[in-house]
């Protein structure tokens, strides 16, 4: 593949529930299957030279789901982090999170912190998990930080105080499952992202489809407002 790797890929991993329903399984089985796909995509991204992979794992709106599903997702996240730690370390991957994790249980917060701490020297790729993440919530938090620090409200300062501080803007945004909307994901950071919507449900997404998207991205002309 002669493609230039994008620096930042962001994914809205959607369709776990419908994937499960089609197989007469519980929605939770779809979430478990979806978690497995993350490893393949992360390893592949690091292999081809992507620097940031930002994954929407739980939105500020997902608390509206049935209590049992939310609890399942929290447990799955804890299991995922514990399971992936050796793989992150082996592959020189750093974990970072965006979103307001203070609403999570103390034990989950601890696992997140430990994983971040133990992978902090990873230089190949940063996997960014969006957890209790909502773009509007993030922007409000950034503006509050500016007020606290008595900083001028301008683009540079807002950007530096978002949860994604220091990260490049999104090059490729992918949403699986056929829905064509942003669902409160990285509104600021997607300002000039190239967007790709695939009908594939997240548990069926794979590195070949990602490669096709990256090829397509390489053929697009990004003008950023110029001519």
* Residues with a known catalytic role: 14, 62
Characterize 142-177 residue by residue with b for buried, 16 or more Cβ atoms within 10 angstroms of its Cβ, and e for exposed. bbebbeeeeeeeeeeebbebbbbeebebbbbbbbbb
Q: Does 173 bind ligand IPE (CB under 6 A)?
A: no
- Does residue 104 interact with ligand IPE by CB under 6 A? no
Residue 138 contacts ligand IPE per CB under 6 A: no
Question: Which of the residues 14 through 43 are near ligand IPE (CB under 6 A)?
Answer: 14-18
Residue 174 interface partner, choices ligand IPE, Mg ion, none, CB cut-off 5-8 Å depending on type: none
Within its chain, how far is the Cα of 72 from the centroid? 19
Alpha carbons 144 and 159: distance in angstroms, whole number: 13
Q: From residue 13, give the alpha-carbon distance in Å to each of 58, 141, 172.
A: 10, 24, 14
72 CB-contact burial (10 Å; exposed 0-12 / middle 13-18 / buried 19+): middle
- The item of Mg ion, ligand IPE, none sharing an interface with residue 13, based on CB under 5 to 8 Å by kind, is ligand IPE
Residue from 35, 52, 56, 167 touching ligand IPE (CB under 6 A): that is 56
Q: How far is the CB of 183 from Mg ion (least distance, A)?
A: 8
User: 3-state secondary structure string, 65-101?
Assistant: CCHHHHHHHHHHHHHHHHHHHHHHHHCCEEEEEECCH
**Binding of ligand IPE by 205 (CB under 6 A):** no
Matching residue, tokens 């390893």: 43
User: Least distance from C-beta 222 to ligand IPE, angstroms?
Assistant: 25
- Residue choice 12, 33, 45, 193 for contact with ligand IPE (CB under 6 A): 12
Q: Residue 14: which of 206, 179, 190, 185 has the closest Cα?
A: 179
Q: Which residues bind Mg ion (CB under 5 A)?
A: 14
Q: Which is nearer to ligand IPE, 149 or 181 (by Cβ)?
A: 181
The Cα–Cα gap between 108 and 129 comes to 14
| Interaction between residue 198 and ligand IPE (CB under 6 A) | no
Find the part of the chain contacting ligand IPE (CB under 6 A) among 116-124, 135-143, 174-182, 211-219. Answer: 174-182
Q: Is 73 in the site for ligand IPE (CB under 6 A)?
A: yes
Residue 97 to residues 92, 106, 140, Cα–Cα distance (Å): 17, 16, 17
Nearer to ligand IPE, 179 or 204 (CB): 179
Binding site for ligand IPE (CB under 6 A): 12-18, 56-59, 62, 73, 177, 179, 181, 183
């Amino acid at each position: 593949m002669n493609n230039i790797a994008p620096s930042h890929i962001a994914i809205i991993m959607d369709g776990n529930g419908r994937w499960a329903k089609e197989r007469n399984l519980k929605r939770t089985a779809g979430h478990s299957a979806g978690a497995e796909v993350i490893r393949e995509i992360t390893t592949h991204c690091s292999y081809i030279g992507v620097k940031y992979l930002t994954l929407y794992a739980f939105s500020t709106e997902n608390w509206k789901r049935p209590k049992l599903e939310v609890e399942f997702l929290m447990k799955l996240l804890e299991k995922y982090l514990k399971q992936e730690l050796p793989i992150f370390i082996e592959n020189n991957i750093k974990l970072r999170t965006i979103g307001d994790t203070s609403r999570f249980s103390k034990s989950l917060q601890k696992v997140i912190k430990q994983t971040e701490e133990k992978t902090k020297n990873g230089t190949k790729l940063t996997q960014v998990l969006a957890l209790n993440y909502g773009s509007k919530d993030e922007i409000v938090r950034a503006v509050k930080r500016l007020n606290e620090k008595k900083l001028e409200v301008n683009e540079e300062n807002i950007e530096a105080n978002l949860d994604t501080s220091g990260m490049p803007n999104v090059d490729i945004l992918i949403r699986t499952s056929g829905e064509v909307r942003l669902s409160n994901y990285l509104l600021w950071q997607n300002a000039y992202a190239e967007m790709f919507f695939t009908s594939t449900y997240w548990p069926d997404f794979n590195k070949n489809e990602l490669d096709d998207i990256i090829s397509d991205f390489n053929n697009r002309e990004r003008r950023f407002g110029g001519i």
